[in-house]
Amino acid sequence: MISPKANTIIETPDRTADKSYSVPKQQRQRPRRLHYFKNQLVAYGLMFPSMAVFVMFFYIPAFYLLYISFFHWGILSSATNFVGLANFRTLLQQPLFFHSLVTSVYYTLVMIPATVLLSLGVALLLREAVTGRKRGSGIWRGAVFLPHVTPIVATSIIWVWIFNPQFGLANFVLTHLGLPALGWLESATWALPAVMIDSLWHSLGLYVIIFLGGLSMVPRELIEVARLDGAKKYQIFRRIIWPLISPTTFFVVVLSTINSWQAFSQIFAMTGGPHGGAGGPAFSTTTDAVLVFQTAFVYYHFSLAAAMSLVLFCIIMVLTLIQKWISDRVVFYR
């Protein structure tokens, strides 16, 4: 007995051979098109669940945000009325909004180079350990990545203790190094740097993994040839590794720009958000994300917060475009 499957296998070449001779072109197309639609259907079917989540929780809220930024929008929606650009006008009259922008720029401008330097440095060390067949490099890699998989709100609370001016670990280390103790989260000058340290620590693992991926794309032979060419370590880094991983570096820069602009949880958790504060002391940690949150959920001025988010969206987009423009001139793609 021949199984149906075997049958089709035997028949298929016959049929196609037939068609190419006798069946007119249009008729020949039809089954193939049907097949195409079937394929498409399956593809969309498989994509549907994740697309649905994406549309539901991302696109719809985003467009709704655009919509409500033109209204005076109460949370019970009874007092909703169209106000045009009034929200944007209000925004431009808010000194705190500009202050938050400056704070965000400060935060981002420190975070980008710090992220790149630190994560690239750690990635280079880890790679050295792997190629030098040092034992335990897997443990180090795990150790670096571990903070990233912990919830940032939880670990931020630990950092609050570390930065405690009286008995925190940070000041303990500083005083032991003979440096003055700092006020950290209680000081308008040092609160934001404290948040930066927490954020760096938390996100380092992710960027290290990305850089390790980038470094693994640099062929070992290139490094070897460069050594034979007489290049010193820093020359190899500067002239070979750095240009070749520039796509990765660019990716990290873009990613950390976006993440920094949107930094919220760690600031919220570290500056007393759970107790109704956040952004202090003296608004020194009020980044735009914090301000948006407070406007919406502390002062319940949703449409103003929506307008604020839109402005931020535009700023991030412009920044990304500028970065893209720069990258086209600096980044080396193979």
Summarize as ranges the residues that interact with other proteins (CB under 8 A): 219, 221-222, 224-232, 235, 239-240, 243-244, 332, 334
Least distance between other proteins and beta carbon 328 (Å): 15
Q: Which pairs count as long-range contacts for 28-35, CB under 8 Å and 24+ apart, including other chains?
A: none
Angle value at C-alpha 86, between 82 and 92, nearest 5 degrees: 155
Least distance between other proteins and beta carbon 246 (Å): 9
Least distance between other proteins and beta carbon 239 (Å): 7
Least distance between other proteins and beta carbon 102 (Å): 38
- Which CB, 167 or 234, lies closer to other proteins? 234
- Which CB, 7 or 235, lies closer to other proteins? 235
Least distance between other proteins and beta carbon 216 (Å): 16
Expressed in percent and rounded to 5, the helix, strand and coil fractions of the chain are: 75, 0, 25
State the Cα–Cα distance between residues 254 and 269, nearest whole angstrom: 25
State the Cα–Cα distance between residues 107 and 196, nearest whole angstrom: 7
Cβ atoms within 10 Å of 126's Cβ, excluding its own: 21
Extract the tokens encoding 248. Answer: 């990765």
- Which CB, 72 or 227, lies closer to other proteins? 227
Please say whether the beta carbons of 140 and 129 come within 8 A: yes
Please say whether the beta carbons of 302 and 68 come within 8 A: yes
State the Cα–Cα distance between residues 26 and 275, nearest whole angstrom: 71
- Which CB, 244 or 306, lies closer to other proteins? 244
- Which CB, 191 or 241, lies closer to other proteins? 241
- Which CB, 232 or 324, lies closer to other proteins? 232
Least distance between other proteins and beta carbon 209 (Å): 24
Please say whether the beta carbons of 170 and 190 come within 8 A: no
Cβ atoms within 10 Å of 266's Cβ, excluding its own: 24
